[in-house]
Amino acid sequence: MTDITIVEEEAISLSELKNELSKIKKRDGELNFRAARTEDYLNKFSTLKLKDIKALKKDIAGLDLPRIKDIHIVKIIDMMPSTEQEMKFILGAFNLTLSKDNLAKLFEVFKKYL
């Protein structure tokens, strides 16, 4: 059995994964069973376009909020919270709390893309 070496690990959103699967499908002609099931799921649940996601990530990173990492940003984008309270619950899953001011700043940036 071959040894697998992880070169880089990066959190990606559902829409970015959908884009990567479409590249694989174009290259290989068809997807295997698991990838096809994943593609079906992504077609149902990924809502933002790739360019909007990249812009949103850049806007959130530009806020320089303490303790916010890429994985948090991606999860917020995937879940698409419609209120500050929902965003607070999403971040609570990571045991991450933000001040009310920082949460409001984060939601204001996110609200532009809803």
What is the rounded CA–CA span in Å between residue 4 and residue 27? Answer: 22
Angle between helices 100-111 and 84-92 (to 10 degrees): 110
Residue 106 is predicted with a pLDDT of 92
- Is the residue at 34 inside a domain? yes
Q: How confident is the model at residue 3 (pLDDT cuts 50, 70, 90)?
A: confident
pLDDT of residue 103: 92
Cβ atoms of residues 48 and 112 within 8 Å:
no
Same domain flag for 68 and 33: no
3-state secondary structure of 50: helix
Q: How many domains does the chain have?
A: 2
Domain that holds residue 64: 50-111
Asked if 110 contacts 81 with a C-beta cutoff of 8 angstroms, the reply is yes
pTM (2 d.p.)? 0.81
- Residue 90: inside a domain: yes
- Model confidence band, residue 67 (pLDDT cutoffs 50, 70, 90): confident
2 domain-assigned: no
Residues 6 or more apart whose Cβ sits within 8 Å of residue 102: 63, 65, 66
Say whether both 59 and 25 belong to one domain: no
Say yes or no to pLDDT of 1 above 90: no
pLDDT at 43 exceeding the cut of 80: yes
